[in-house]
Amino acid sequence: MSLILSTLLLSSVALAASHHDHAKGLGAHEHGAIKLGMAVEGKTIDLDLDGPAESFFGFEYTPSTAKEKKAFNDAESLWTKDLLTKLFVLDKKLGCTSSEVSFKQEIDEEETKEAQAKLKKGERKESGIHSDVEAKAKIICTQDLKGQTVVVSLKKSYPHIKKLSIDLVGSEVKSINAKAVEEVKL
């Protein structure tokens, strides 16, 4: 199972890197498209979420105004504080808690410098900046998760997400194109 989890996480990183290189090279960036990796083993779920920052808080540059900082903080707080109450809901009888939770925006510094030069020329503030959010977490439960259901509400909680793909690795491997609220059988 550890080998499968490692493969899933590495493929997610490679996908994010190729998506970022594609965006930089072609000037295209698929806003609203998010990839969630869920690896389930016994009583544990490892989560790896990747996607354009715009999909989480509406812009891709470093937040600078009070409104932008609030949007970023709200998106981060959903992941770090409301993970098990709003984003991933499991039966309370399973006794689940979250740990190793992280949410960060990764901005390409070279692109940022180029975008700042464009800004000085009067172009749009976010012009040329492509940043991603990398979010991770571990859910640990007191009961075995096999056959249980988790309600995934990422699209409902982050309204800029238009397309959510879930790769589920457990006793079997599944790929899911999620609706606004998706019940995922573990």
And the tokens for 148? Answer: 């249980």
pLDDT of residue 22: 39
The pTM (predicted TM-score) of the whole model is 0.77
Give the dihedral of Cα atoms 135, 161, 67, 69; nearest 10 deg.
10
**CA angle in degrees (0–180, nearest 5) for 9-152-140:** 60
Cα separation, 172 vs 186, in Å, equals 9
What does the pLDDT profile of the chain (186 residues) look like in tens digits? 444 444 444 444 444 444 444 344 333 457 889 999 999 999 999 999 999 999 999 988 889 899 999 999 999 999 999 999 999 999 999 999 999 999 999 987 666 566 656 656 655 554 567 789 999 999 999 999 999 999 999 999 998 999 999 999 987 788 988 887 889 999
At 20, the amino acid letter reads H
pLDDT of residue 112: 59
Cα separation, 61 vs 42, in Å, equals 39
DSSP H helical ranges for 87-160 = 109-120, 154-157
DSSP assigned state of 143: S
Cα separation, 105 vs 172, in Å, equals 31
pLDDT of residue 115: 60
User: What count of Cα atoms within 13 Å lies in the side-chain half-sphere of residue 37?
Assistant: 23
Cα separation, 45 vs 24, in Å, equals 33
Residue closest to 83 by CA, chosen among 149, 154, 32, 144: 154
pLDDT of residue 19: 42
